[in-house]
Structure formats: structure tokens, C-alpha cells
Chains A and B, each alone.
Chain A
């Protein structure tokens, strides 16, 4: 089966001569049909530029890309018919009501709310009680649900979601990802970007990006497996003191806080027993255990 999205050596720069900012530096990857594909990276990684190129709203400096088999430059009209795009910034009509916004987008794509209601009903039902309210008067969570409904109303084959969970609390984030899983079951290919590393594990495959570069493309599990070294979690009575001791130890390659524990990577040739010996005197209640790395650990390792 051919790829739902194919990106080949895309380069994008902004500005001229002296002040050139390179947003995307030779990016290539493929997304399979029906895949839930995550683009994971902090602000400035190039996520939005990439989405705008794939949705035919921005031209790359060089490289090629296809969506649903169509070229993003040559066949832009065809692509616009078949993709749904939810930008990071709320971009519906604030002075139209919830229902008017949805009708507007349905009409533009020569369809109706009734025709594709089954696709959006899960999401739209939650805001339907407020269908006469102006979009500008909705809460953040409700705006998000409306924007997603509008992006889906023409039954797109590929859905682009640019940072849908940024600034959203932990509970709402979980709910949003549950919605995405249900959409995936409908066979829609979904590309979703996020700065939250923990969301990577909810995707089929991810690309980790930083400053316009690809750090890794793989399944979340394989990225974790590729960490390659044992990861240790340490804690003690005084965490700040422990961190300083860890950073100064000859056995430690890298140490950084991660929630309740500090995560520690040892240098080759050293083991945790050696480390324990060295630092246990000055750290009471010291505990060290081996743990599985998460995507954030991997991201930080790849950044170095």
C-alpha cells in the first residue's frame, strides 16, 4: 500500500541573507494509511512549518511531499479537498455560532452535517447543547471540540492536528487522546504534533524533532529499546544535595531530575554499586533502582 503521507528531503528557511532561520533541515519520513503518527518536539522544532507545507499552505524551499498520493505543490487543490487541518491557534469564526461554524465548513466542502454526522457525533454531542452560542464565547475545551468537528465534517482521509493539547490540563489531554483513538478506528490517518513527550506512547509511530532536525523515527517502544544503556533512578532525603553529588561523581555520565527521582546514566565501566559506595555517606535514605527509560529520557539522550 502506498504511503498516506510522504515527506522527502524537505528544507524550509525563513528570512533573508543575514538573518536566516532554518525551520526544517532535510526532513524525510512516511506515514502509513490509518496510522496515528506523532510529531513530538518542543517549540521551534519545526512542527507547524511541516504541517503548513503538508496542508499546502506554505511552500518548501526544496524537497517534495505527497499527501494521499498527491503532490503538495502540483495537486494542492486535490489535497485541500481531502485533508482536515486543525491549526494550533483557534481559527474558526468567533462571531458565528457553534452550529453556523459547522454548517459553514460542511457547505464549503459540498457536504452537510447530516451526511457525516456519525463521524463527529462522539465529539459534537458534547458541545451540541451549546450549538447557538457564539464560538468566541466557548471555553478552551469546547473550542477544541468544535474545531475538531469542523476539521472532520467533510470526512477527510488525512487529519492534521497541530498541538491540540498544548496548555490543556492532564485530564482533558487524556480525554482528547481517547477521542483520537476512536477516530483512528474509522480509518482516518492522523498526524498529531505535541510538545508533551508523554503523549508519544499513545501514537503508533513518532518522529522526534528538535530545531528542524529529525532525532528519531520509530515506534515508541522501539525508541525506548534503543536507549541502549541501563537507566537508574535515585532518590534521597535531600534531592538537591543528591543531584549535586551525582553530577560530580566520576561514575556519572548524565543526571537530571525527573519527578520523584533523579535519573542517572552511568559511564561505561562503572556500576551502581560503585556509585552507591561513593555517595551513600553524604545522602541519607538513599535508594537506587534500575528503571525503563521513557520517551523524555530518550529525547534528552538524542539531544546531546
Chain B
């Protein structure tokens, strides 16, 4: 296996009865890359992501994540990755510090690691004075940035971000992407889904799923060239309009 590749998928497929949710998708994600995973609702993104996170066994095909096989080593995959979504991120009724203690503990980090890392993250986010406040009491923009920091608290090689910026104000959305860039520079691979097409432009490469298959995969610049489009929004509309199946 090539060490440069953090995700490899080869004809990865998931069937539910007669329904083929994910149909033989093949792609690689490189270390340190910001990889945008786009598709219409019901295209199969979530199912594909669940397989890559080790939460759902594929029906056929092959895939490795962080060097581990999705069939045999899914527990090792879970330890190597971080995950954040708009819907599930932090415990609102725990304090900022307690959330970090909790996530650090789940990933088996030492007390010393958790203590040092907590101090580092609070300093980095300028939240030194909010460490003992309930997450519930924080402004939404802060929560989202904090959630990302907690998702990479255990220093995973790869983090999955499922619509991380939904509903977030435009300024915070950009600050959030700044954090993504910083994490990628440190070598953390970013696998991100979004409905904001301007954010697709910020990815190194973008894949677009239609009806269970990856219809296009390239850099945003090349995708726009290939489809004669002025923006990623146009590329997406051209591809997603081809979808025939009803979302599931």
C-alpha cells in the first residue's frame, strides 16, 4: 500500500436488499489533502462515509482507511479518525473542559496529554476564560469551532466533517475554513461534505456523487474546465440534475 494514501476505495459497494446505495465507487485520498465529498441528498454520501468510518460493512469491494481494512480492522479505523457533524458534536450540558476530558478519555489519551492539549486548544481558540462554562452557554460560532478542535483533539490522521458549517454565519464559516487549512497544513487529512458550493472551491479535490456513483472527481479548477462551468455551483447543478433515483 502506498503510504501517501490515507483512503483507498476500490469498487466499494453497499446494497440494502435490491437497492444499491453505493455503487462501485473507487477513489484515493492523499495525506494532508482537503477532499470535498459532494452529492445531492440521497446520492449515497452518508452511506459511503459510514463505511469509511468503520460503522457499516460494505457489501463488496475493498477499502482502506489510515492503512486499515474496512472489513477486518474497523475498530482500528475508529481510533485513527475524528468525526464532526453539524448535528452531533459536543455535549451541551458538559463544560468546555469536560467535553475535552470526555473525548480524550474515549480515545484512550493519558491524563497528561489531555491536560496539555486542553490548555493548548483553549489558548488557540482564545477561550481561556470559558473552560469551565457549559457548552450550552457559548455562542453558536464558538461551539462550531470548538467542535472541530475536539474532533481533532486526539490528533487523528484523518477527520470526517459532515456539513460542519450548516447554519453558521458567513464570518464564522470563513474562520472555520481557516481552521481547516491550519489542520491540513499540520498533515491532518480533511474529508468534508457541504451544501455551500463556494466551500467546494476551497478543497484540493472534489468528488461528486450521483445516484450511488462518483460521477466526477478532480480539482475544482479542472472540474469547471471539464464541464465548461464558471463556478462549482454550475458543475454541481449539471451533474446532480442527471440524478434519476428518488432520494432515500
A, B in one complex = yes
A17-60 residues with Cβ-Cβ distance < 8 A to B are 19, 41-44
Cross-interface CB contact of A167 among B42, B166, B201, B202, cutoff 8 Å: B166
Distance between Cα atoms of A296 and B86 in the complex (Å): 21
CA distance A169 to B209 in the complex (A): 12
For residue B140, CB closer than 8 A to chain A, the reply is: yes
Query: Contact string, B195-220, partner A, CB cutoff 8 A, digits 1/0?
Result: 10110011000000000000000001
**Mask of A170-195 contacts with B, CB within 8 angstroms, 1/0:** 11111000000000000000000001
A259 with B41: CB separation less than 8 A: no
Q: How far is the CA of A77 from the CA of B246 in the complex (A)?
A: 39
| Of the residues A19, A169, A299, contact of B40 by C-beta under 8 Å | A169
Indicate if B222 sits at the interface (CB-CB under 8 A).
Answer: no
In the docked arrangement, what's the CA distance between A167 and B163, Å?
Answer: 8
- Knowing A44-B139, A172-B40, A259-B232, the reply to whether A303 touches B171 (Cβ < 8 A) is yes
Enumerate A190-216 residues with CB–CB distance to B below 8 Å.
195, 197, 210
B155 lies within 8 A of chain A by Cβ: no
Interface flags for A262-304 (1: CB within 8 Å of B; 0: not) read 0000000000000000000000000000000000100110010
Known: A42-B140, A43-B140, A259-B232. A300 touches B171 (CB 8 A): yes
Contacts of A197 in B (CB 8 A): 170
Kindly provide the distance from the CB of B216 to the nearest chain A CB, expressed in whole angstroms.
15
* Chain A, residue nearest B39 (CB): A169
Partner of A44, one of B140, B240, B241: B140
Given contacts A42-B168, A210-B169, A259-B232, contact A171 B140 (CB under 8 A): no
Q: How far is the CB of B89 from chain A (nearest CB, A)?
A: 13
Interface residue ranges of A54-90 to B (CB < 8 Å): none
Report yes or no: B237 in contact with A42, Cβ–Cβ below 8 A.
no
Q: Which of A19, A140, A174 contacts B137, CB < 8 Å?
A: A19
| Shortest Cβ distance from residue A173 to the other chain B in the assembled complex, whole angstroms | 8
Interchain CB contact under 8 A, B202 and A257: yes
Please name the residue on chain B nearest to A19 by beta carbon. Answer: B137
Contact B41 A43, beta carbon cutoff 8 Å:
no
Q: For the complex, give the distance between the alpha carbons of A43 and B243 in Å.
A: 30
Task: Contact check, A303 vs B169: say whether CB atoms are below 8 A apart.
Answer: yes
Q: Are A141 and B171 in contact (CB under 8 A)?
A: no
Output the nearest chain B residue to A167 by Cβ-Cβ distance.
B166
Given the known inter-chain contacts A43-B140, A44-B139, please indicate yes or no for A169 contacting B171, CB distance below 8 A. no
Is A2 engaged at the interface, CB distance under 8 Å to the other chain? no
Contact A257 B42 (CB under 8 A): no
Complex interface residues of chain B between 86 and 106 (CB less than 8 A to chain A): 86
* CA–CA, A259 and B167, complex, Å: 18
Bitwise interface map of B from 162 to 195 toward A, beta carbon under 8 Å scored 1, else 0:
0100111111101001000100000000000001
- CB of B170 within 8 A of CB of A296, answer yes
Choose from B166, B181, B231, B237 the contact partner of A174 (Cβ within 8 Å).
B237
B35 CB, nearest partner CB in chain A, Å: 17
Query: Nearest residue in A to B233 (C-beta to C-beta)?
Result: A170
Q: A214-239: which residues lie under 8 A (CB-CB) from chain B?
A: none
Rounded to whole angstroms, the CA-CA distance of A197 and B172 in the bound complex is 14
What's the Cα separation between A288 and B210 when bound, in Å?
Answer: 35
Inside 8 A of A139's CB, which chain B residues have their CB?
41-42, 246-248
> What are 20 pairs between A and B in contact, CB < 8 Å?
A139-B42, A142-B247, A167-B41, A167-B86, A168-B41, A170-B197, A170-B233, A170-B240, A171-B236, A171-B240, A171-B241, A172-B40, A197-B170, A256-B174, A259-B198, A259-B201, A260-B201, A260-B231, A296-B170, A303-B170
Query: Which residues of B approach A to under 8 Å, CB–CB?
Result: 39-42, 86, 137, 139-140, 163, 166-172, 174, 177, 181, 195, 197-198, 201-202, 220, 231-233, 236-237, 240-241, 243, 246-248
Which 8 pairs show the lowest CB-CB distances between chains A and B? A42-B169, A259-B198, A43-B167, A169-B40, A139-B247, A171-B240, A259-B201, A195-B167
